[in-house]
């Protein structure tokens, strides 16, 4: 039983049920990495991968960004929509990632998709955010989706989380110690932190180099 729990992964309907159970709770605060680093983030189109109930996408849209928010849970999107409308943030459902133009006005485009099967548009975003979701196969696509000078914000659980309650148990969904810092060697690290206190979590902010910054190396 314990072994079963350890390697259990959640299906789309499991996630729908989790989001549904949380629907009446107060809206969650944005991820610490986003609110802390907000002043350093480039202005422009943002992509929020595995956006869940939208705490980060709502924060970004409230601060004037256009956000494409991707998740596979329709229940999560009902919640994002309701919260966006209550905050007077424009929100719409679109079929494809990349429908928004670079200079789209502030608001949220919701794309319901399985991230195991998506194709992210290249050279399209100045910010790509992925919080509490680990799918290593997305990393090369994330690099390509960013525009030069764009910022990557990643924050998710490390294997240290196994010492604490909650969060994923499957090692496939947990970062190794130092893994996130090593994963984007061609990017400039702006911020890196690994916590083992109450939870095991790593946070990275890294900038994609511009042609000029490459030239000066």
Ligand X SMILES: C[S@@+](CC[C@H](N)C(=O)[O-])C[C@H]1O[C@@H](n2cnc3c(N)ncnc32)[C@H](O)[C@@H]1O
Residue 50 or 67: the one with the smaller Cβ distance to ligand X is 50
Total Cβ atoms within 10 A of residue 130: 24
**Measured torsion, CA atoms of residues 215, 191, 193, 135, in degrees rounded to the nearest 10:** -70
Binding window for ligand X (CB under 6 A); candidates: 37-45, 81-89, 126-134, 141-149? 126-134
Tokens of 69: 């928010």
116 touching ligand X, by CB under 6 A: yes
Q: Which stretch binds ligand X (CB under 6 A): 67-75, 120-128, 170-178, 187-195?
A: 67-75
Position with the least CB separation from ligand X = 52
> Is the CB of 149 or the CB of 191 nearer to ligand X?
191
Q: Is 80 in the site for ligand X (CB under 6 A)?
A: no
**CA separation for the pair 190, 213 (Å, rounded):** 14
> What's the chain's length in residues?
217
CA-CA distance, 80 to 68, in Å (whole number)?
Answer: 12
Binding residue (CB under 6 A) for ligand X from 44, 46, 52, 109: 52
Taking CB under 6 A as the rule, does residue 132 contact ligand X?
A: yes
Question: If binding means CB under 6 A, how many residues of this protein chain bind ligand X?
Answer: 17
108 binds ligand X per the rule CB under 6 A: no
CA distances from 118 to 28, 76, 81, 113 (A): 27, 18, 22, 7
- Segment contacting ligand X (CB under 6 A): 38-46, 65-73, 94-102, 206-214? 65-73
Collapsed DSSP state (helix, strand, coil) of residue 6:
helix
Of 201, 202, 197, 163, the C-alpha closest to 182 is 202
Q: Which tokens go with 128?
A: 């790509």
Contact call for residue 187 and ligand X (CB under 6 A): no
Q: Does 114 sit near ligand X (CB under 6 A)?
A: yes
Helix H or strand E segment including 143? helix 139-145
Ranges of H-type helices in 51-132: 55-62, 74-86
| Residue among 69 and 100 whose Cβ is closer to ligand X | 69
Q: Single out the residue of 41, 45, 68, 71 in contact with ligand X (rule: CB under 6 A).
A: 71
Our finding on whether 55 is near ligand X (CB under 6 A) is yes
Is 44 a binding residue for ligand X by CB under 6 A? The answer is no
Candidates 80-88, 100-108, 113-121, 172-180 — which segment interacts with ligand X by CB under 6 A? 113-121
Q: CB–CB of 201/158 below 8 Å? A: yes
Question: Which residues sit at the interface with ligand X, rule CB under 6 A?
Answer: 15, 31, 50-52, 55-56, 71-73, 76, 114-116, 131-133
């Amino acid at each position: 039983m314990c072994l079963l729990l350890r390697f259990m992964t959640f299906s789309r309907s499991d996630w729908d049920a989790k989001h549904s159970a949380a629907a009446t709770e107060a809206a969650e605060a944005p991820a610490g990495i986003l609110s802390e680093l907000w002043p350093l983030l480039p202005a422009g189109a943002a992509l929020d991968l595995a956006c869940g109930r939208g705490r980060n996408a709502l924060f970004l849209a409230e601060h004037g960004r256009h956000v494409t928010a991707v998740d596979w849970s329709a229940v999560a999107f009902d919640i994002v929509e309701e919260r966006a409308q209550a905050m007077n943030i424009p929100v719409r459902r679109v079929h494809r990632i990349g429908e928004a133009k670079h200079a789209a006005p502030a608001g949220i485009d919701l794309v319901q998709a399985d991230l195991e099967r998506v194709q992210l548009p290249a050279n399209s975003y100045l910010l790509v955010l992925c919080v509490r979701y680990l799918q290593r196969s997305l990393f090369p696509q994330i690099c390509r989706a960013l525009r030069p000078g764009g910022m990557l914000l990643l924050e998710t659980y490390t294997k240290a989380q196994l010492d604490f309650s909650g969060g994923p148990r499957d090692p496939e969904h947990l970062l190794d110690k130092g893994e996130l810092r090593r994963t984007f060697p061609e990017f400039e690290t702006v911020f890196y932190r690994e916590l083992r206190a109450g939870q095991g979590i790593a946070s990275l902010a890294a900038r994609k180099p511009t042609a000029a910054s490459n030239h000066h190396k």
